[in-house]
Amino acid sequence: MSWVDICSKDDLQANSGICALVEEQQVAIFYMPESDALYAINNYDPFGKVHVLSRGLIGDLNGEPMVSSPLYKQHFNLKTGQCFEDESVTVPVYSVRIAGDRVEVNLAGEK
């Protein structure tokens, strides 16, 4: 288990996403201040086949936190990576935490 330092807490965008480069992987990190929740998933959109998920709109669907792809609007569960529209598709999910005023991601700790 190795936690990688990413950025300061101020670099997070409330109710929106940013993208980090972690060990050559693109990681999308989302922050919902109301529920004080942080999520990290792979930035790759399996439908559009490009790295853009960090730029999708976030919110919830049926009570589950989600991001909607900016390209073709599929929704992905931020906790599990499961696509809402297509059962056979999931995107990788990673651990993410705030330590002090720093944001850290742990790739090995796939949830």
Work out which of 41, 58, 83, 107 binds other proteins, going by CB under 8 A.
58
R_g (Cα) of the chain, nearest Å: 13
15 contacts other proteins (rule: CB under 8 A): yes
Helices and strands (DSSP H and E) totals, the chain: 0, 11
Work out which of 3, 18, 92, 95 binds other proteins, going by CB under 8 A.
18
Dist. CA 26–CA 43, nearest whole Å:
5
Work out which of 3, 46, 47, 71 binds other proteins, going by CB under 8 A.
71
Contacting residues for 70 by C-beta, under 8 A, at least 6 apart: 52, 53, 55, 56, 57
35 vs 88, beta carbon nearer other proteins: 35
Residues of this chain that interact with other proteins (CB under 8 A) are 6-7, 11, 13-16, 18-21, 26, 29, 32, 34-35, 48-52, 55-63, 65-66, 68, 70-71, 73
